[in-house]
Structure formats: C-alpha cells, structure tokens
A and B are shown apart, each in its own frame.
Chain A
Amino acid sequence: MSTETGRPLLVVEGLGIVFGGLRAVHDVGFALKPGEIVSIIGPNGAGKTTLFNMISGLYMPASGSVRLDGEVVTGMASHLLARRGLSRTFQNLQIFPAMSVLENVMSGFHLKEKGSLFADLLNWPTARSRTRAIEAAARALLARVGLERAAEREAGALSYGSLKRLEIARALALSPKVLLLDEPAAGCNATETEEIDRLIEEIAHEGTAILLVEHDMKMVMRISNHIVVLDHGEKIAEGDPATVSRDPRVIEAYLGVQQEGSHAGG
C-alpha cells in the first residue's frame, strides 16, 4: 500500500459495465490519494480503457460508484468532471487536428479563459487580457513537454509521439486534481518514453493523483505506487510493484505473455 498521506481524491467502488451480455468490467475498486501514481495493467481487452471511460464520464457504469474529492460523480458528463478537477488523455489520441499546437493547449484552459459570450464577441479588454494570460500559460506548458518550437504548427501534422505529449500538456492545462493517462508512452521511442516517465513523476510530485494505463512494464514498475491488475474485466490482484510482479495469477494472466508465451490467453 502507498505511503502517501491525505484522504483519497478518487475512490472507485464495485464499478461494472455490461456490453451485449458480456461483463466488460466487473466489480473493480481502488482509491487514489494526492500525489499517488496508480497503474492499471492487464492484457489487451482486460477492460482498462473501458474502466477509464466509465470514470471519465464517457460510459455510464451499470453498477458501482465513483467519488471525486468526496463527491459522488458516477456517470457524470465529462465536461462537468473537468470542472471538478478530473482530466484525461486517450489511448487513440483525441486532439484538435485543424488547430495549432498552441491552440490545442489553450483549449485546455477553456474553463479559466471562458467569460461571457458578449465579452468575446465585442473583444472587451477583459476577454483580451484573459486570452493573453492563457496563451502565456499554454506556451509554458508546451515548453514543459518539449513542444515549444512546434507551437505554431498545425497539430494534425505532428508525429505520434509529439501528439501524446501534446495531449498531456492539454490535460495539464486544467490543473487537474486527478489525471487519467491512457498509454501515454505508446508509440514513443526510448528517449521519449523516458521523458514522459519523468514528466509523470513530476506531475505526481506536485500533488496530482495519477491513474495510469500503460503497456511498458518497466515504466509501470518503476513509477507506480500501487498497481491494479485486471483480467477479463475483473481485478485479479493489486499491491505495490514488487508484490504484483511476484503474484502467480498476474504472471499467468499478463506477465506470462512475455515470460511463458505458451500460457498466454488462457
């Protein structure tokens, strides 16, 4: 168990969803404290992204509850969750391709920039100064993920690895209390993975609770405080990295894919 103090920011209890009679996720629960990194691992199709989609308001869970900072937010719409401090990235990238890289991050500041419609239409000084402040903050975030030189480029033209970092920068723009990262290092080379690795630890160090889905086991084992293992939609094990990596069910269901290929898929 984690050694971090403070009450949990995100509490997931008994979460489940059924797709066409199939229990995609069943009775999954865990908790995240400020500054903690919790990873969800499991083979493809284990329900990791489905779990993310339920927590972030894209899917309505059939059972169970999600509490964010003490408030029950089960099945709440994404934009309302964003207001309450939950932010996420996507496995299959959800960027705004026709916008510049800078504007992608600026839209992450939407809630901070938004004033009245009329102030925006009439170009009031208050609206102008808000946009200026947001632009500076967005540039700072781009620098943080190493994309400051791509700021004016069209986002759709960026490489996959850069887009992954752009998504993280946009998610950070919300100053989230809880950040869900769905395979942030997928498709990245070793150097990029190391950078993302360091970035995640930094974000956690600043007090954000991070829920991570990642296939890079080295990364997961290195940075996680706590690991939850899913298989066929159910939690089969959890604990700190050392405990989990020794758990025979985990080796069978997941790590076994690498170590004993013939046992995989059972």
Chain B
Amino acid sequence: MRLSHKYSALLVLLAVVAVAPLFFPSSYYYRVASLVCVNGLAVIGIVILTGYAGQISLGHAGFAGIGAYACALAPVHLGLHPGAALVLGALVSAGLAFLVGRPILRLKGYYLGVASLGFGILVSMVLTNESAITGGPDGMQVADLGLRGWLAGIGLRLTTGQFWYFVNALAMLIGAWLALNLNERATGRALRALHGSETAAATVGIDVARAKLSAFVISAVYASVAGSLLALQNRLVTPDIAGYMHSIEMVTMAVLGGVGSVLGAIFGAAVLTLLPQVLTAFDQYEQIALGLIMMLVMIYLRQGIVPGLLALIRGRGT
C-alpha cells in the first residue's frame, strides 16, 4: 500500500528528529537543533496562513512575543505554573489575533503585509517601553518549567540541551501533525480554495472572511507557543523576540523551504537556523553568503527548496 503524503511527511520528520542526536558531538548541537525545532513550529503556522490560505503576515513575531512574555510574567504576577502560562499566552494570542485579524484580513497582498507589520511593531514597542512590567529592552528572567527536574526524579536524566531538543521536537511534530490533518479536511481545503479564487470559494459556500480569520488565529497560536518554548528554554526574554526582523525571518524561512509544504517550511527553518552557524567560517562575508544563497534559491527554485527539488526530480523521472 502506498503511504499517504501526510504519513510519509511525518515519518521523514520523526526519523530525522530521532536519528539526528546520533550525530551531535556536543551539547551545543542540541542547543542549535532545539532552535531549529522551535523555529520549525512557528513556521508551520506560516504554512497554514500563507501556504494554505495565501494571506501574508509580517507581524507574527508579535504573537511569539506575547507567548514569550506570558511565560515570563504570568508566573510572577498570577502565580501560574510556566506550563499554564504557555497555554494562557496561546489563548491571549488567539484572542488578539481574532480582534486584529477581523479588520486587517479585509486587506489583500502588500496592504495586509504592511498592516500586520504594524501590529508586530506595536507589540514590540509595548514590550520595550512598558519597562515597569516587562523590564524594557533588557528583558526579564523566566521561571524554570520544572519538567526536567521532575523527569530526573523518575529516573530520566537529560541535560538541558537534550531536554529542550526533545520538548521542541515533540512540539514541532505535533504541530506538523495538526497542520497536515487540517490540510486533508474541509477546513484546510477551504483555505486552499480561497487562496485559488475567493469568488469561487464563496460560491461553494465557504465563508471566506471567517476561514481567513481562523487561519490567522491558528497561525498566531503556533507563533505564540514557539515564543513560549523559546523563552522557557532561554530562561530569559527580550523584546527582540517580537521585533519585525523576527517576523520577517519566519516568513523567509517558510518561503525559502517551500511555504506550501509543512516539510518544506521546516526545512527552510533548519537551513536559516543552521546556515549562520556554518557560515561563520566566512567571517565578515557571512551575511553576503546568506543573501546570495537566498537569492539563488528564489531564482531557481521559486516554490521553495523542498517543493522545487521534488518537482525537478519528478520532472527528470518521467
């Protein structure tokens, strides 16, 4: 029996996540790999919003910031467990995405991009300026999740690097599974339909405004959870997490790897997380090399690295 696209994608992902640690010579590699996973998680949200529904957001780091600061603030001010703070952050992000999404999703293309950029900047400005609460540009400490200690208590001893690698990898796998489920069902198909033609989508009974809003809210939750995990892992959070560079980074990762495909976008996240580490060899030419690679990919593999290469291979095959 032929494996469905969904399960082959999940198997590939699972295999890579499981096998990769065999090649990690030091804890530094765990740290980088866990960053790949957390970025991968955020980028899956972009796949749902941009790849499926065709809507552009340049402000999703705002939601990552909300998720991150929820984990920093809620344990201090509300006495919440950091895990519960992650959930609270996701709920706040979802609520805010619902409120912000309604008006801005009426815009299309560049206009939507700019409006969402404005939202992201707003969040990062609040986090920077409300220093009495957020600690300002210096950021603030984040409480320990406590899960690693608990695992050690039941006999499963992991280093901090290992622990976060497995937590983030698990989160990314769950995120990928949810997004791939969505893709095969009415909700995901409706998003892809309105991406193709909003007029036709409405004609078959799809509430286009509502479908876009649900994609926006779901992708905000992805960004928020990724932000929370990053904050919990770093034990420190600064307003940079909500900055527009981070928003643009998310979109770039997705587009570079292939925004229409979950696997592709995660690959893009991996490439853009790892490349700066690899390119340090080029010293001051690092940024130039990075820019050059991105330009070449966009010129020769416009659908992104993974879908582009797959198309090339299939084209050769027939």
Contact = CB atoms under 8 A, between A and B. Distances in A.
A96 B202 contact: no
Contacts of A99: 189, 192-193, 196
A260 to B, nearest CB: 38
B206 A79 contact: yes
B189 A103 contact: yes
Interface in B187-235: 187-190, 192-193, 195-197, 199-208, 214, 218
Interface range for A: 35 or more
A96 B193 contact: yes
Given A115-B186, A120-B185, A122-B178, A90 B196 contact: no
Contact of B203 (A78, A117, A121, A130): A78
Interface in A108-161: 108, 110-111, 113-115, 117, 119-123, 127, 130-131
Contact of A131 (B184, B196, B197, B201): B184
A56 B203 contact: yes
Contacts of A77: 202
Given A95-B196, A96-B196, A110-B189, A117 B214 contact: yes
Given A96-B193, A127-B185, A131-B184, A110 B205 contact: yes
- In this complex, the interface size class of chain B, counting residues with CB under 8 Å from chain A, is 20 to 34
A118 B197 CA distance: 25
30 contacts: A58-B199, A78-B202, A79-B202, A79-B205, A79-B206, A82-B205, A83-B205, A88-B203, A90-B199, A96-B193, A96-B196, A98-B192, A98-B196, A98-B260, A99-B189, A99-B193, A99-B196, A103-B189, A107-B193, A108-B204, A110-B205, A111-B204, A113-B185, A117-B187, A120-B186, A120-B188, A121-B182, A123-B185, A131-B186, A170-B204
A163 B27 CA distance: 56
Contacts of A94: 197, 199-200, 203
A207 interface: no
Contacts of A119: 185
Contacts, number: 104
B200 A96 contact: yes
B190 to A, nearest CB: 6
A130 B207 CA distance: 19
Interface in B224-273: 260
A137 to B, nearest CB: 13
A170 B190 CA distance: 14
A57 B192 CA distance: 22
Contact of A107 (B184, B190, B208, B218): B190
A49 to B, nearest CB: 13
B201 A107 contact: yes
Nearest to A88: B203
A131 B185 contact: yes
Nearest to B189: A107
Nearest to B203: A78
Nearest to B183: A120
A177 to B, nearest CB: 13
A82 to B, nearest CB: 3
B287 interface: no
B181 A121 contact: yes
Nearest to B185: A120
Contacts of A107: 189-190, 193, 201, 204, 206
Contacts of B181: 120-123
A87 B203 contact: yes
B208 A79 contact: yes
Contacts of B190: 107, 110, 114
A106 interface: yes
A57 B205 CA distance: 12
B205 A121 contact: no
Q: Which 6 residue pairs of A and B lie closest in terms of their CB atoms, listed nearest first?
A: A96-B196, A82-B205, A94-B200, A78-B202, A120-B185, A113-B186
A178 B202 CA distance: 16
